[in-house]
Amino acid sequence: MIKVMHLLDAINLDYFIVINKFNAVPLDEREIMKGRIKQEIVDNNVKLVKNIYFVNALHTEQFPDWSRLVMDLNITNENVTPQAEQKTTDKKDL
């Protein structure tokens, strides 16, 4: 996965990291796990991560990051240029 992040960094494209099924991590280990993941990002010189979300898609109410992710995706989507939206629409018509 680090290679993909380095590729995105190389083409100057920012991105989110989503850690799903975070409920599988025991409660007393979650903060430690978050710290490890954040440290891996630093250690591997990953640069353009906009945010990291720790979620579970089936239990969204347990993880506040879920609503933050949805909000950030909506904000990001609002910033899409009309030209990019047109290209997406054209591909759907095929």
The domain locations on the chain are: 2-93
Nearest alpha-carbon partner for 39 in 52, 58, 26: 52
**Are 67 and 16 spatial neighbours (Cβ–Cβ below 8 Å)?**
no
Residue 26's pLDDT is 96
Binning pLDDT at 50, 70 and 90, where does residue 27 land?
very high
Please give the DSSP secondary-structure letter assigned to residue 25: S
Binning pLDDT at 50, 70 and 90, where does residue 41 land?
very high
What value does the mean pLDDT of the chain take?
A: 85
Read off the tokens for 34: 């978050």
pLDDT in tens, 70-79: 888 887 667 6
Instruction: Please identify which residue in the block is written with the tokens 């239990």.
Output: 59
Residue 73's pLDDT is 84
CA 36 to chain CA mean position, Å: 17
Q: What pTM was estimated for this model as a whole?
A: 0.73
Query: Would you call 31 exposed, middle or buried from its count of C-beta atoms within 10 A (0-12, 13-18, 19+)?
Result: exposed
